[in-house]
Structure 1
Amino acid sequence: MVTADAPIDATTHGGRAKCLQRLVRLDLPVPRTVALSFEAVRRIAGGEMPDMGALLAPFGAAPLLCVRPSSEDPDWGGPGAVLNIGMNDARYAVLSAQLGRAAAAALYQRFVQAYAVHVARLDPDMFEDIGEDGPEGLAEVLRAYELETEEPFPQEPQVQLAEVLRSMARAWAGTTARLLRQAKGAPADAGLGLVVQAMAFGMGQGECGSGVMQLVNSQTGLRQITGRYLPQSQGRDALQGGDAALFLERDARGASLEERAPEAFAELKQHAGLMRARLREEMQVEFTIEDGQVHILDGVRVARSARAAVSIAVALAEDGIIARQEALMRIDPRSLNELLHRQIDPEEECDILAHGIAASPGAASGRIVFTAADAQASAARGEPCVLVRRETSPEDIRGMHAAVAVLTERGGMTSHAAVIGRGMGLPCVVGASDLTFDLRLRTLGAPDGRRFAEGDVITIDGTNGAVIAGEARMLEAAQGDAFQTFMAWADAERDIGVRANADTAADAQTARNFKAQGIGLCRTEHMFFETDRLTVMREMIFADASEDRRAVLERLLPMQREDFIALFRIMQGQPVCIRLFDPPLHEFLPSDRAGHLELAEALDLPLSDVTRRVEALGEYNPMLGMRGVRLGITVPEIYDMQARAIFEATIEASREGDPVVPEIMIPLVSAKREVELVKTRVDAVAAQVRTQTGRDFAYRLGVMVETPRAALRAAEIAPHVSFLSFGTNDLTQMTYGLSRDDAGRFMSTYVQQGVFPEDPFHTLDTEGVGELLQIAAERGRAARPDLVLSICGEHGGSPESIAFCRDAGFDYVSCSPFRVPVARLAAAQLALLEKHG
């Protein structure tokens, strides 16, 4: 029996059984209930039945019962409930006199059909042609059962209940059910409890019916009584009751339970409030009204969107029902993405064409375009567009800014489109290899044969990786008062810094809005792809002598200086870590003949000279070629210009606000001598600027650790720098010998077959790459105890990676601006777990 002091626990009897015990302890009107443990159900599945007489004894003579599943986690599911067990010809006659023949027949017919489908395993279609209700319909159902099974419907309640229990136990033990619940995160050996409960009819004389009630809106989390009530019904029929279902409280749109049965409504509202306060959760109440009397059949945690979950947690904490720390622990950090971006309405039926990798969360609809120029033209016309490319490159940045979403055929979680998309908050699906990308004909082919031309509308769901035909209905982002309060609580608990990767003023403003504690990575090369700067950059590349390069870069200096002034002013004295120029120069040059011709005209050079220069800069493996510090040493004028722009911007920005202390980061270091050479030139530029301006300033120099050798030689490098920031995208790529742009083609197979536990570009490899980080941290701090350590690759926003960084003693993590709230909450939860367990 489920009593106040019965030995019942969710781990032995399931969540439903435990909840019903809590309702009993609250003296709520719960029908008499017996709970069968996981072990008892396992024995039933194996053919060992309990003492049915003893099981039925608590319910008295001739009871009507229902059986419901009770798994440890409600999300794991279970077999469907069976109602009205115990109905037979004799009980039908008695209830006909008490409730009326129509109600009694409905109760009996419902049970016969459920028994036929779930126990006798008959095809539910056999009942579709039965058009009669009442006694005539019941007679037809009984005849159909007898005809199909070649035996009469069982009349003995003990037999009925035993067969229902056996059927539900075996259904849970079946292969299909096991695979389904494992897909929802359940362990393979998860147990099932069963709850046997006396029926509250919900049908008959007086006010009878059933329904569900909750005190909050499942989508918003705001206080609002929602649910439905259906007269003359059972179970959860009200949710499928259509126009016949009533609202609960008074509503201008139709009849309500409050008007029809005000006392029952008031009692239900009181019960729901008590459950919220005492169970410390927003609960959905399943109830039945029988001749005006309220029965509480069950209470389940209210289903909720992520935005509702935050509102609910904050409201419970502010009402003193739970502590703020518990409110923080109730929210999955990754679910915050739903609040930060527009999402497809979960009730929308979508025409899904294919799936790719969900590279940047959020959703958007727009017309297909195939080039960055077309995206800019579309934006100029005020038409939302989706940029479709095989893969994006730095040349596509302007098109990405103009588009509402990006779709690529190739790439993975750290490909160019994915990284830039996350930084911009732009929905992005990459690696959609099931689609056919024909850039020559400008069409997109779906696996089912449909073709979409330029201008056709599609929707990109970067949260789930879906590519959808047409325009989908959206839910807007939700960053209201509850969200701001919640994040302030998180900041009060966390003990590791969170910065943002930001390349533009817009990125920096987003980071500031999300309360980032500075910029941990500013990739300066993205500043050179604007039209007016790209031509100047190309002139510099074609210059042969140092003096000529310096002269051309003088034209970029004021532009770069203004970029940094904007960043410094937006961050208002918070640290800004600027990575010096990193990519190979060929990325700034056109790759086709038309582009070569256009460049020759712009530079007033023969086409042959342009072609030769482009070919000369080509490399077999450019990502391991002349880029990063290697470029800074062989073409030092670039770093000289950038250092001057940083220092002059520092002086200018410090005039109006808090003093700025910029951080200059050298990329792709692998040797101490590289740092010494760059540091010497940067210090020299700083001295020149101090002399020329008469103003003093401070700055910090550091290294971006992206090569295994830099990690291993950290003890040699650390004395020359103030910080080490680990670029885990490239470090993972070099440690594994994988191309992060191509690994998506086989990574899912590798993960499925257990080669890697997770995609190492998505979740930090704490064993291999992580060991390099730990080695570098230990050796670096041994050589320089005040060395600041951080991670600035895409792993910086991952809760698992933040856990690793905390354990390794890192000072902060840096991630895309839209992942900053995720990192802030994850860091708070880790601190709470360490503090309270």
Structure 2
Amino acid sequence: MAAQRTAGHRLAGQAGQPGHKYVYAFAEGNKDLKDLLGGKGANLAEMTNLGLPVPPGFTITTEACQAYLATGREPDGLAAQIADHLAALERAMGRRLGDPQDPLLVSVRSGAKFSMPGMMETVLNVGLNDRSVVGLAAQAGGGPGGAATGRDAGGAADGAGPDGAASGGGERFAWDSYRRLIQMFGKTVCEVPGEEFEHALDAAKRAKGVTSDLDLTADDLRELVGAYKKVFATHTGRDFPQDPREQLDLAIRAVFGSWNAERAVLYRRQERIPADLGTAVNVVAMVFGNLGPDSGTGVAFTRDPATGNQGIYGDYLANAQGEDVVAGIRNTVPLQELARIDRRSYDHLLDFMARLERHYRDLCDIEFTIERGKLWMLQTRVGKRTAAAAFVIAGQLVDEGLIDLDEALHRVTGAQLAQLMFPRFQLDHGIDAVATGVGASPGAASGKVVFTSARAVELAGEGEPVILVRRETNPDDLNGMIAARGILTSRGGKTSHAAVVARGMGKTCVSGADEIDVNVPQRRFTVAGQTVTEGDVVSVDGTTGKVYLGEVPVMPSEVVRYFEGDVDPERSDDALVRAVHRIMTHADARRRLAVRTNADTGADAARARRFGAEGIGLCRTEHMFLGDRRELVERLILARTDTERADALAALLPLQRADFEEIFREMAGQPVTVRLIDPPLHEFLPPLEQLAVDVAVAQERGEDVAREEALLAAVRRMHEENPMLGLRGVRLGLVIPGLFAMQVRAITEAAVTVTRAGSVARPEIMVPLVGAVQELETVRAEAEKIIAEVVGESGVEVLIGTMIEVPRAALTAGQIAEAAQFFSFGTNDLTQMGWGFSRDDVEGAFFWRYLELGIFGISPFESIDRDGVGRLVRIAAEEGRAARPDLKLGICGEHGGDPDSVHFFHDVGLDYVSCSPFRVPVARLEAGRAVVSSEGSDSR
């Protein structure tokens, strides 16, 4: 897919043709070019244009990546454009790439439109070889002011020793950087197994008698470089490339290719990121945070990404490089410590943070490096945040006048609101925490401990809740992180890989719980003198950072208590509750779509009303026939005479009437759409095979089986190979005389009873599974006679409509609308019939493969298939309204609570969506957001 053209895109020709611009200097871009330059490149350009200290560099566009992935080669003209921009970078830095005397080094990093932390590749220290490593050593040994290089935050970990250049000087630093280049280049570019380099490193430490990389001297690292070269040559059949431009070109291609790496594909699928965007590539002059105690690296947030609280949040490591922070392999100090370590850089950083937040009008996530007292800004982006922080920050920014309420509504999502409605641990549970780490991503999660991603996936697939425990996570753990209820690491902080990815996915995470000693090979950890092995249950609190042994009881969240009416938002001291109330109030004021609920009982109806439901969009009457009433249905099915059938229906009538009276009373004048019975008959009859065996065994014993034999005969008579497409819905009502008539009478009598008692009832009778207008006309004619007879002078109005769930009904909606006062789209069945598969049979059978192949971006049962099933909905809505302008349109399938689907139904022009009670607030929020989006707020 070609990247969208936005303002500022200097188009020199069509993509793929000579003269097309594939490379942009930072000064040529801006933050609005994310489609073309990726998020990282666009924001580097924006910071450059704001005058912030950004290491010079350039960005290769997503279009170049798309062309490379489509053809397997770089597009024409790209190599020459890279050469031109590299020459300009060399002039700006006063150095040449790989110069043996004074080398320029660069990083090569991915940067897609949407943040995908750690999912794609990075290559650092590009430009080092056997000759330039000597020049780098001379540079690094020059002391403060003697190494004005440029460097990206994802660099080599543990670079210099505790005393920086003094502990081994520039020579140690240079050889350490070189061995890291070989390791990263080998693994990323040439697919050398990473463990081969790790084995060589472990061997070097054993030979030296040390356990830490920091204890290796320059001579040790020089020997390690030789060992790494042998590993590289053994696995690639060639020597490590010494030509700096060849290193650069191969690294760029590796970053392009990493767009389709397994973990990147999985992450995009999880986050619903389109697969055809491609990634940009950023080539940036390197700066180094591991040149001594006056150097360091860190990550900063302009507000707390976990809670939204204002203040200074982040992590810093002196004499270290970015990987130490983001990978969580070394524990950091709070960002405030930088004020003590380097006050001048700290003050500059605070100034830049304030400027960026005002400029982006949002929480900013910033990566920076200090190289010998010089602060470099390496990256900024609108920061990932928890669901709670999203609401709190949106409210704060409104108060500060940076955004309006429409923008605040646009910035939160229904998915985030759903997260806030999950339970939390009881405060008085009486269980003592065994460890406390960093509350990196809020939530309450209990589950069985697992230590590997594969085991997490395996147990979760068996329905077990799991907690993934690691020293630190890395991108290869993504499968397990997705499968787990919660994540616990013994290293890292709020900006470690585990924390960032967990927040993005809405997973509970506690990181940096250093009281825990994790032993992955033995699948256990020890804490407070106790050993926890795989399969034991632990509980983690992502808000407080506390870790508990065993399962901790949970309680409703404050947000659910607010929706239940137990919390007064005007008096609450909870900033989250106040923010949710304010944004929900605005969403209700803005939305056009009404929101109803799917409810079959008075209790469900009452809860849905408390959650803001404006009626019932689906009351499934077949649910009322289960349990003790199943026998009455069997009597109805087995009836051989009109008298037997009438007796069975007469027994069911008062039970149905009582059900509807309760529901009408709870809904207090709101509309209630009652679907006439729509079960596949097998749901009410014993399985044919089991019943046949039971009858045969009873006959062998000489027992009286007359009733069972009659039931078996009926089951055989009605047995269907595919009951979901058989005798159900309107067909059942037409085949079993009196069934629908009994239900219509029960509904109408209940409505009249409730109305005469002083309340109001607004019943809507929905005929299911109609495929031809003649079916609806037949049922309606009988229903109208009963309604007229029962209603009398009560003033009750009963609407009659149908459920559009058969493709033919959607395609003949103009005809059906002539006999219907409303349509309600049953998108579950419409999806099954539109795609031609049964949900129960196929989701576990092949959906995983369809998702893997990209045939599905997401299950069509989870989010509406806009192009296929959605088109049927659109056709039916347009043709139905053309035939009957006052036709009421709604949707009652599960899609009614899916955020993306709600936007589609708004666009199609439906009147309401209906969903489960718990999803009602989500649908309300998204219905408001749909208005804001349709008016163009998402382009502001």
Same fold (TM over 0.5): yes
- Distance (Å, rounded) in 2 between the aligned partners of 1:329 and 1:643: 43
- Cα distance 1:285–1:771, how it changes in 2: closer, same or farther (>3 A)? closer
The residue that corresponds to 1:137 in the other structure is 217
Whether the aligned pair in 2 keeps the contact of 1:115 and 1:164 (CA below 8 Å) is no
Whether the aligned pair in 2 keeps the contact of 1:59 and 1:198 (CA below 8 Å) is no
SS at match of 1:82: strand
The residue that corresponds to 2:627 in the other structure is 530
SS at match of 2:840: coil
Whether the aligned pair in 1 keeps the contact of 2:140 and 2:174 (CA below 8 Å) is no
1:577 aligns with 2:676: no
The residue that corresponds to 1:508 in the other structure is 605
Cα distance, 1:579 vs structure 2:
0.8
The residue that corresponds to 2:151 in the other structure is none
CA distances 1:46-70 after superposition (whole Å, capped 9, x unpaired): 9974476643232246476552525
- Cα distance 1:493–1:641, how it changes in 2: closer, same or farther (>3 A)? same
The residue that corresponds to 1:210 in the other structure is 297
SS at match of 1:128: helix
CA distances 1:107-163 after superposition (whole Å, capped 9, x unpaired): 323311222224466752333333367796212222332466499xxxxxx988645
- Distance (Å, rounded) in 2 between the aligned partners of 1:645 and 1:623: 26
SS at match of 1:238: helix
1:352 aligns with 2:446: no
- Cα distance 1:615–1:756, how it changes in 2: closer, same or farther (>3 A)? farther
Which among 351, 356, 361 is matched to residue 275 of structure 1? 356
Whether the aligned pair in 1 keeps the contact of 2:637 and 2:714 (CA below 8 Å) is no
The residue that corresponds to 1:812 in the other structure is 912
Cα distance, 1:663 vs structure 2:
0.7
SS at match of 2:719: coil
- Distance (Å, rounded) in 2 between the aligned partners of 1:57 and 1:757: 45
Whether the aligned pair in 1 keeps the contact of 2:634 and 2:685 (CA below 8 Å) is yes
Letter in 2 for 1:129: A
The residue that corresponds to 1:316 in the other structure is 397
Cα distance, 1:300 vs structure 2:
3.4
Cα distance, 1:786 vs structure 2:
1.6
Equivalent runs, 1:476-555 vs 2, <5 Å? 479=559, 481=577, 482-531=579-628, 533-555=629-651
Equivalent runs, 1:216-255 vs 2, <5 Å? 216-223=303-310, 225-239=312-326, 245-249=332-336
- Cα distance 1:223–1:571, how it changes in 2: closer, same or farther (>3 A)? farther
Letter in 2 for 1:502: A
- Distance (Å, rounded) in 1 between the aligned partners of 2:836 and 2:846: 14
- Cα distance 1:346–1:239, how it changes in 2: closer, same or farther (>3 A)? farther
Equivalent runs, 1:644-659 vs 2, <5 Å? 644-654=745-755, 659=760
Cα distance, 1:825 vs structure 2:
4.6
Cα distance, 1:757 vs structure 2:
8.5
Cα distance, 1:685 vs structure 2:
3.6
Name stretches of at least 5 consecutive residues in structure 1 with no aligned partner.
152-157, 250-255, 367-404, 406-455, 460-469
The residue that corresponds to 1:33 in the other structure is 56
The residue that corresponds to 2:489 in the other structure is none
- Cα distance 1:290–1:780, how it changes in 2: closer, same or farther (>3 A)? closer
Letter in 1 for 2:58: A
- Distance (Å, rounded) in 2 between the aligned partners of 1:236 and 1:285: 14
The residue that corresponds to 2:730 in the other structure is 629
Identical-pair percentage: 34
- Cα distance 1:339–1:129, how it changes in 2: closer, same or farther (>3 A)? same
Which among 367, 379, 385 is matched to residue 286 of structure 1? 367
1:56 aligns with 2:90: yes
- Cα distance 1:490–1:105, how it changes in 2: closer, same or farther (>3 A)? farther
Equivalent runs, 1:293-692 vs 2, <5 Å? 294-331=375-412, 333-334=414-415, 336-341=417-422, 349=450, 351-352=455-456, 354=458, 479=559, 481=577, 482-531=579-628, 533-591=629-687, 592-593=690-691, 606-617=704-715, 618-620=718-720, 621-654=722-755, 659-690=760-791
- Distance (Å, rounded) in 2 between the aligned partners of 1:84 and 1:758: 39
Whether the aligned pair in 2 keeps the contact of 1:797 and 1:815 (CA below 8 Å) is yes
The residue that corresponds to 1:115 in the other structure is 181
- Distance (Å, rounded) in 1 between the aligned partners of 2:352 and 2:292: 24
- Distance (Å, rounded) in 2 between the aligned partners of 1:630 and 1:111: 75
CA distances 1:309-355 after superposition (whole Å, capped 9, x unpaired): 44444443443323433344445655654444468869985633549
SS at match of 1:101: coil
- Distance (Å, rounded) in 1 between the aligned partners of 2:602 and 2:464: 23
SS at match of 2:322: coil
1:101 aligns with 2:166: yes
- Cα distance 1:568–1:104, how it changes in 2: closer, same or farther (>3 A)? farther
Whether the aligned pair in 2 keeps the contact of 1:31 and 1:200 (CA below 8 Å) is no
Whether the aligned pair in 1 keeps the contact of 2:301 and 2:313 (CA below 8 Å) is yes
1:82 aligns with 2:124: yes
The residue that corresponds to 2:137 in the other structure is 92
Which among 825, 828, 839 is matched to residue 726 of structure 1? 825
- Distance (Å, rounded) in 2 between the aligned partners of 1:345 and 1:267: 40
The residue that corresponds to 1:19 in the other structure is 43
SS at match of 1:130: helix
- Distance (Å, rounded) in 2 between the aligned partners of 1:353 and 1:471: 21
Letter in 2 for 1:696: G
Q: TM-score, normalised by structure 1?
A: 0.72
- Cα distance 1:325–1:657, how it changes in 2: closer, same or farther (>3 A)? farther
- Cα distance 1:172–1:473, how it changes in 2: closer, same or farther (>3 A)? farther
- Distance (Å, rounded) in 1 between the aligned partners of 2:229 and 2:301: 42
Could you say what the CA RMSD is over the residues aligned between the two structures, in angstroms? 4.7
Letter in 2 for 1:831: V
SS at match of 2:379: strand
Whether the aligned pair in 2 keeps the contact of 1:84 and 1:110 (CA below 8 Å) is no
Whether the aligned pair in 2 keeps the contact of 1:238 and 1:245 (CA below 8 Å) is yes
The residue that corresponds to 1:127 in the other structure is 201
- Distance (Å, rounded) in 1 between the aligned partners of 2:727 and 2:223: 84
Letter in 2 for 1:616: A
SS at match of 2:596: strand
The residue that corresponds to 1:399 in the other structure is none
CA distances 1:155-197 after superposition (whole Å, capped 9, x unpaired): xxx9886455334213224478566655534666835332423
Whether the aligned pair in 2 keeps the contact of 1:182 and 1:188 (CA below 8 Å) is no
Letter in 2 for 1:232: N
- Distance (Å, rounded) in 2 between the aligned partners of 1:709 and 1:12: 43
Letter in 2 for 1:525: E
- Distance (Å, rounded) in 1 between the aligned partners of 2:85 and 2:27: 22
The residue that corresponds to 2:509 in the other structure is none
Name stretches of at least 5 consecutive residues in structure 2 with no aligned partner.
1-22, 66-73, 96-101, 145-164, 232-240, 424-442, 468-484, 486-534, 539-548, 560-575
Cα distance, 1:526 vs structure 2:
0.5
Whether the aligned pair in 1 keeps the contact of 2:770 and 2:802 (CA below 8 Å) is yes
- Cα distance 1:296–1:63, how it changes in 2: closer, same or farther (>3 A)? farther
- Distance (Å, rounded) in 1 between the aligned partners of 2:80 and 2:842: 46
